[in-house]
Structure 1
Amino acid sequence: MRKQKKITKPVKIIIGIIILILILFIAFFTYTFKTLGKINTVKLDTSNLEISPNITNEVDLDEIRNIAIFGIDSKDEEIGRSDSIMILTIDKKHNKLKISSIIRDSYVEIPGRDGKDKINHAYAFGSVDGTENGGPTLAIKTLNRNFNLNIKDFLSVNFSSLPKLIDSIGGIDITITDEELKLINENSTSQLSSSGTQKLNGSQTLAYSRIRYTAGGDFERSHRHRTILTALFNKLKSTSPTSYPGFLKELLPLINTNMTSTDIISLAFKINSLSSHELIQDRFPRDDCGEGQMINGIYYYVFDINETAKQMNDYIFLDK
């Protein structure tokens, strides 16, 4: 009979390390899926989101994914409007992360509605039927129809949840003006001593996000929303991965989305692969495309829809 070969000590060590890695890998994904189960999942009919047939054919759309982000401003059981509308672009072709703000007073067509209205009303109009998916569905349709986009996914968070989110990561660094300082201190539970670059807590960040009547108006307000998102992005880049479980535990219950747990994990890996880069940002419509107008006593931002759609497609898909 052949003698069995003894497993040497180095081989035992290697086998032990492999088993340990497998155990940690399984534990990580078990915890991750359990944590992601806390997210509020909304089912959308993706067959009827008015994906534009006019998107440029110069790029493989599988390499460029767009996700709508809606900041909903509502209290208690009120139906809220999407007072913050942004599009997150994961651009694997050009190796970039991009964020696009949409001016909330933009005068656009809203599917199923007569005439035109403010784009931020679409979310509220879609919610009046009482279904959980009506708001984001109509808001996504509106974005796709007016700007020739391919959005199928969304994330939404209520502004009232912002303080908890910001406090869960220890605040964010934002540079504020003297004018903003005054308004933040008037509307937050704690005071800042001076302008300049400051660490804002949750209450102060909410007050900052809601500033409306300053020089620059809604353009500056949309810029503040992008500033908050960029500050969050930078904070997470510099945060140790060991802190992620606690952060996700606080964050995920505040979010509504149609994305699955598996999809979110896949998305996180894609974003992480691009996280060494800056979060590039722009705002639409741009200044050269429109102007504010009073129509029947209501303020709207009226703009050249065809030129704006072209500018957005160039920026999002072609990286121009």
Structure 2
Amino acid sequence: MGRNEKGRGIIKKILLCILVIIFISGISFIYYINKQLNNVTITPLPKTDTELGIKPKLSENRAIENETIQGEVKQEDNILNIALFGIDSRNSKVDIPHSDCIIVATVDNKHNKIKLSSVMRDTYVEVKDHGKTKITEAYFYGGPKLAVRTLNENFNLDIKDYVTVDFAGLAKIVDSLGGITINIKEYEIKEINKWIAELAELQHVKYTPIYRPGDQKLNGIQAVAYCRIRKVGDGDFERTSRQRVVLSEILNKLKNVDITKYPYLAAEILPYVETSISKSNIITLGGKIMMSGISNLDQQRFPVDGYCKGEIINRIWYLVPEPDIDTLSEQIHRYIYDDIKPVSKEPLF
């Protein structure tokens, strides 16, 4: 599925770092973080459900679950969804970035967990005013506003905010944590060194290759390069596994970081963040997450195996939901709101 695409999945490695570093820092060091949050690009989204593609019936059902104060819905408990987009802006001066990775991050107080619902970037969906195309194209055509609307309209969701992170933020996080330990396989060395060389050249830093297999500490550039390996082993499927390994190592390091270091980490990565969430709401949301005691992380990729097929349409390869988009929408919706995981079946292709 999209084995020849570069830079996919980077946001998986930094999602929880964004949530933890920004939110926890906001609570523990309010005044300091208020200053650091000035480094974040804040771009509000439209306020109306219609402009965001949220269906009226869903909005009404969510209103019943949440507290209503003076005629306004206050979204606080139960389910909170935020769209997360990972982009590679290396060529942004000459090319508008696509969303190389698309994730719906769900703070699920109802089931006491945080969920990461990844949507494959080649998924064939309807994009308003652009017909059917890859879901990654929505960000290209209309930035986060159209990307959020596309998620809501195709999958019956109620997303009202987003966070976009440049892939360079991953390297900053890893370096800020002092590196991470990864087991490098013999067959991965050539590929990882190829990516290290490219990334080092782009950042005008010294090229530091990997010489041997086995456990070793990777710096930020090396960690990003490790995540990009795709032409050895089991292709994109193994690359996804590498990305999960990097995420786990980052989270393990974060658990042992002194809380006084969080503002420093925030200062390192916030320049790579764009969001629709205001500074005050970042701090407020951080407090709610901390007070909720949620520590469980659950992940799911969509479409799931057996419910999609690769198809060439007008000479372009797409990942087409099977048997239809409605089935995919129902699976995503039930996972996010009812905590029902879809069961994969034998691939159809």
In which range does the TM-score fall when normalised by the shorter chain? Answer: 0.7 to 0.9
Report deviation, 1:179.
4.3
Letter in 2 for 1:317: Y
Identify the range of structure 1 (262-271 vs 210-219) with the bigger mean alpha-carbon deviation: 210-219
CA deviations on 1:256-303 (whole Å, 9 max, x unpaired) are 011111111122233334666342111000012111112222111011
Which residue does the alignment assign to 2:3?
Answer: none
Aligned partners of 2:329 and 2:256: how far apart in 1? Answer: 35
Report 1:244-263 matches (<5 A): 244-263=262-281
Say whether residues 1:280 and 2:298 are aligned partners.
Answer: yes
Give 1:198 shift: 4.6
One-letter code aligned to 1:315 = Y
> Hey, what's the Cα distance between the residues in 2 that align with 1:26 and 1:226?
28
User: What residue number does 2:83 align with?
Assistant: 68
In structure 1, C-alpha distance between the alignment counterparts of 2:167 and 2:102, rounded to whole Å: 12
Letter matched to residue 90 of structure 2: K
Mean Cα deviation higher: 266-275 or 104-113? 266-275
Whether the 8 Å contact between 1:85 and 1:104 is mirrored in structure 2 is yes
Aligned with residue 332 of structure 2, among 303, 312, 315: 312
1:142-175 deviations in whole A, cap 9, x for unaligned?
1111111111111111223432232122223455
Separation in 2 of the partners of 1:108 and 1:74? 24
CA RMSD between the two structures: 2.8
Q: How many residues are paired up?
A: 287
Aligned pair in 2 of structure 1 residues 200, 68: CA closer, same or farther (>3 Å)? Answer: farther
C-alpha spacing 1:150/1:298, structure 2 compared with 1 (3 Å): same
Share of identical aligned residues, percent?
44
Kindly provide the CA deviation profile for residues 118-154 of structure 1, in whole angstroms up to 9, marking residues without a partner as x.
111111111xxxxxxxx00011011111111111111
Deviations 1:25-81 (A, max 9, x none): 999422121122221111221321111345494983642111111111232412111
- Is the alpha carbon distance of 1:314 and 1:30 closer, same or farther for their aligned partners in structure 2, counting shifts above 3 Å? same
3-state secondary structure, aligned to 1:46: coil
* Residue among 152, 155, 160 paired with 2:163: 155
**What SS does the corresponding residue of 2:99 show, helix, strand or coil?**
strand
AA in 1 matched with 2:288: K
Q: Which residue of 1 aligns with 2:344?
A: none
Pair 308,271 (structure 1): closer, same or farther in 2 beyond 3 Å: same
**Cα 1:218–1:161 shift into 2, 3 Å:** same
Going from structure 1 to structure 2, the CA distance change for 1:224 and 1:251 (only over 3 Å counts) comes to: same
Q: Which residue in the other structure is 1:8 paired with?
A: none
Secondary structure of the residue aligned to 1:292 is strand
What is the CA distance between 1:240 and its match in structure 2? 1.3
Q: Is the 8 A contact 2:27 2:287 kept in 1?
A: no
Task: Please report the TM-score for the alignment, with normalisation by the length of structure 2.
Answer: 0.73
Distance 2:28 2:98 in 1: 40
Q: Distance in 2 between matches of 1:319 and 1:163?
A: 33
- Match for 2:338: what amino acid? L
8 Å Cα contact 2:82/2:104 also seen in 1: yes
Q: Is the 8 A contact 2:191 2:231 kept in 1?
A: no
